[in-house]
A and B are shown apart, each in its own frame.
Chain A
Amino acid sequence: MYDTIIIGAGMSGLAAGIRLAYYDQRVCILERHSTIGGLNSFYRLRGRDYDVGLHALTNFTQRGARKGPLARALRQLRFHWEDFALAPQVESAIVFPSVELRFSNDFGVLESEIARKFPREQDNFRRLVASLVDYDDLQPQHFCQSAREFLNAAIGDPLLREMLLCPLMWYGNAREQDMDFGQFCVMFRSIFLEGFARPFAGVRLILKNLVRKFRALGGELRLRSGVELIQVQDGQATGVVLENGEQLAARRIVSSAGLVETLRLCADITTLDPVQAGRLSFVETVSVVDRQPGELGHDRTIVFYNDTEQFHWTKPETALCDVRTGVVCSPNNFLYDDRDGQLPDGVIRVTALANYDRWMQLPDQEYRVAKLHWYDRVVESAVRFVADYRSRVVDTDMFTPRTIRRFTWHDNGAVYGAPEKRIDGTTHLPNLFLCGTDQGYVGIIGSLISGISIANRHCLRE
């Protein structure tokens, strides 16, 4: 009998596991896939290491900072700042047809960009920031209000509104067109007021640290252990049945599988409420170039682009992908320690919106052709906003909604989960809880905080 079974060995499940194992619970993390990380993972292909999911860790604060989600996650998981070996970004930008806004981990850069390019909005922007600074993400107020309505009232110039929303939606918005106000505040802080960073060794360093700590505390991690059923008796979850038929009993269950995905596993639920699963999925092109991207004139960490003045954040309905907007990221463009030097390969990744159903319906042969076709279309779109690196490409890879489904098991390959979040993590059963994307936090640090807060709130106080 376990005290807690955790479904999913992504960031949130591992963080919850560490908290519970640290306080002497018998914990087992069950992972369907053959590897850990879920959406944030890593792989090796033709002799090179790649990250999946992570472009950059958001919420970056300097060593010694005691406030903010990064410091909180490190404290709660008993890690030292050095354990994540974070290198800060160089500089990023939001690029629209007529204007670009640079920003970095120094908030002054964005402020002065807005002062120069939107001089009339300077005071409005300052007031907007002041009203967001103290938003408490642990006790969220007005979470579900419309971020667009809030922005309409705060900022006069529609172009600036769209430009501010673009990176915030790209990095964590499960809702189409609009965004929850709470999510907006959390993302604004994590991207603009805090910042981007990356470990030299990539996301694998963070994952390996998490797993090592979890196991050292006596936690049990089982890979290739998909949950087929959550057993329910007298209105309580009693355990799980694995795909291989094995039964495991537990006093409580924490699931990072997603809300709809978790309810579907429950033995007591025969028909699902028409809960809207998320609809937003992505493709990502990965290009290895024959030199450091900086030598090709691309020295920015992340570039969020949009090719019209209106930012569209919707599932593409008529095509496999929508290449009007995208994110260009280069893991080379971080300020790595001199000890580490530079990554051996130049890598440029571009993310675009994709239609899950269309990608899933393709027969294998057409799927392979579509990947080639859309690799070209996505990169062609991106090089309107960054240096054209196409003649320097020596290897490529591409992930699609199919890949996301395989790694995350999320309905619709929805990267940020369902639009309706369960902030308190509760479900219809008193001892079944949600953590991860559908609980509400996003990003690497957000996922860790999600697992930590659900463990603290529901699994430790008894």
Chain B
Amino acid sequence: MTPSEIRAEVIDILGDIAPDEDLSQLKDDLPFREQLELDSMDFLDIVMELRKRHRIQVAEEDYGQLASMDSTVKYLEPRMKDL
């Protein structure tokens, strides 16, 4: 997957987790937490959806890498490039 495909996939996951959020205005360099009403349970769901959909394991110490769209795509790029 290319970075833009990964971004689209993350948007799709966020849409599943928080169906009432408007994701079209999401700023990639700002933390999700500042823009969306996501709590720790929702962050776990991002991890779980990545595992369910793409068999990607995100270790607990790496959860911080999923703070914003930019950092998430950067973290996933090497892990999803062959998908």
Contacts and interface: CB of A to CB of B under 8 A. Distances in A.
A72 B48 contact: no
A66 B45 CA distance: 16
Interface stretch (B1-9, B16-24, B73-81): B16-24
B30 interface: no
Interface string A130-151: 0000000010000000000000
Contacts of A78: 16
A72 B41 contact: yes
B28 interface: no
Contacts, number: 34
Contacts of A64: 20
A63 to B, nearest CB: 9
A66 B48 contact: no
Interface string B19-42: 111000000000000000101111
A456 B44 contact: yes
B20 A456 contact: no
Contacts of B40: 138
B20 A66 contact: yes
A224 interface: no
B54 interface: no
A456 B44 CA distance: 8
A461 B45 contact: no
A80 interface: yes
Contact of A75 (B17, B48, B52): B17
A66 B60 contact: no
A283 interface: no
A138 B38 CA distance: 14
Given A66-B20, A66-B37, A75 B42 contact: yes
Contact of A66 (B21, B41, B44): B21
A23 B48 contact: yes
User: Chain B binding site: helix, strand, loop or mixed by DSSP?
Assistant: helix
User: Chain A binding site: helix, strand, loop or mixed by DSSP?
Assistant: loop
A456 B42 CA distance: 10
A437 B58 CA distance: 32
A80 B19 contact: yes
Contacts of A452: 41
A460 B43 CA distance: 13
Contacts of A80: 19
Contacts of A75: 17-19, 41-42
Q: Interface centre among B18, B21, B45, B60, by most A CB within 10 Å? A: B45
Interface string A299-317: 0000000000000000000
Interface residues of A, number: 17
B41 A67 contact: no
Contacts of B18: 66, 75
Given A460-B48, A461-B60, A76 B19 contact: no
A66 B39 CA distance: 10
A456 B41 CA distance: 7
Nearest to A461: B60
Interface in A416-462: 452-453, 456, 460-461
Q: Interface centre among A24, A76, A80, A138, by most B CB within 10 Å? A: A76
Interface in A56-110: 64, 66-67, 71-72, 75-76, 78, 80
B40 to A, nearest CB: 7
A362 to B, nearest CB: 46
A78 B17 CA distance: 7
Interface string A267-311: 000000000000000000000000000000000000000000000
A67 B60 CA distance: 25
Contacts of B44: 456, 460-461
Nearest to B17: A75
Q: Interface centre among B17, B21, B44, by most A CB within 10 Å? A: B44
Contacts of B48: 23, 460
Given A23-B52, A461-B60, A453 B16 contact: no
A105 to B, nearest CB: 20
B22 to A, nearest CB: 11
Contacts of A456: 41, 44
Interface string B59-80: 0100000000000000000000
A72 B39 contact: yes
B41 A453 contact: yes
A67 B41 CA distance: 12
Given A23-B48, A64-B20, A75-B17, 7 more contacts: A66-B18, A78-B16, A80-B19, A138-B41, A452-B41, A460-B44, A460-B48
18 contacts: A23-B51, A23-B52, A24-B52, A64-B20, A66-B18, A66-B21, A71-B37, A75-B18, A75-B41, A76-B41, A76-B45, A80-B19, A452-B41, A456-B41, A460-B44, A460-B48, A461-B44, A461-B60
- 8 tightest CB-CB pairs across the interface, nearest first? A66-B37, A23-B48, A456-B44, A76-B41, A23-B52, A456-B41, A67-B37, A75-B18
